[in-house]
Amino acid sequence: MSKKDLKAYMTVYSFCQVCGNECNLSVHHIIFRSHGGSDDWDNLITLCIYHHDSVHLKRIPHIQLQELLEIKNSFNQLNLI
């Protein structure tokens, strides 16, 4: 993902999509790039550092992230974000 694309994404999704925190954010790939995942916005979710670490430590189930992603993408289709 280019810096320009990352900046655009973070402008729209400037909060953790688990808790709503607006600090210490990172973009997480639902399907890892190493597993063929893309940088398309419908494969990304914004997480605060706590929840990003929790995902990688397997404290947040992958299915929960997929559900959050589906909600995010449904809002996109309704032009609510």
Q: What is the pLDDT of residues 7-59, one digit of tens each?
A: 888 888 899 988 999 999 999 998 888 989 899 988 899 999 999 999 888 88
The predicted pLDDT at position 3 comes to: 86
Phi first, then psi: give them for residue 56, nearest 5 degrees: -70, -20
Name the pLDDT band for 68 (thresholds 50, 70, 90). confident
Query: Does residue 77 or residue 49 have the better pLDDT?
Result: 49
Residue 76: partners with Cβ closer than 8 Å, 6 or more residues away:
41, 42
Name the pLDDT band for 65 (thresholds 50, 70, 90). confident
- Residue spans of the domains in the chain: they are 3-77
